A and B are shown apart, each in its own frame.
Chain A
Amino acid sequence: MKVLKWWSRELACREAVALFSDYIEGALPPRRKAAVERHLQACADCGRYLDQMRATIRVLGHLEPDDVPAPAMDELLEVFRRFHAEEEGGSG
Chain B
Amino acid sequence: MLPSAVTATLRALQPVCRVRSQTVSDSELVERLRAGDEHAFAELVSTYQQPLVRLALTFVPSRAVAEEVVQETFIGVIRGIGRFEGRSSLKTWIYRILVNRARTTGAREPRHVSLGEDRDGLAGRFSADGAWTDPPSAWPDDVDDRLSAPQVARRVIVAIDDLPGLQRQVVTLRDVEGLSSAEVCELLEISEGNQRVLLHRARTKLRAMFEDELAVERRS
A: residues with CB less than 8 A from B are: 12-15, 17-18, 20-22, 25, 27, 45-46, 48-49, 51-53, 55-66, 68-73, 75-77, 79-81, 83-84, 87-88
Contacts and interface: CB of A to CB of B under 8 A. Distances in A.
Interface of B: 1-2, 7, 11, 15, 36, 38, 41-42, 45-46, 49-51, 53-54, 67, 71, 74-75, 78-79, 122, 126, 129-132, 135-139, 143-144, 147-148, 153-154, 156-157, 171, 175-176, 178, 181, 192, 196, 199-200, 203-204, 206-207, 210-211
A46 B148 CA distance: 24
B64 to A, nearest CB: 10
Given A15-B130, A55-B139, A76 B41 contact: yes
B72 to A, nearest CB: 11
Nearest to B204: A21
B199 A25 contact: yes
Contacts of A87: 36
- Which among A52, A53, A61 has the greatest number of chain B C-beta atoms within 10 A? A52
Residue with the greatest number of chain B CB neighbours at <10 A, chosen from A21, A27, A56, A66: A56
Contact of B78 (A45, A55, A83): A83
Given A12-B129, A18-B200, A45-B136, A77 B41 contact: yes
B36 A84 contact: yes
5 contacts: A48-B135, A52-B136, A71-B45, A76-B74, A80-B36
Contacts of B130: 12-15
A77 B6 CA distance: 13
A66 B181 CA distance: 25
A88 B53 CA distance: 32
Contacts of A57: 175, 203
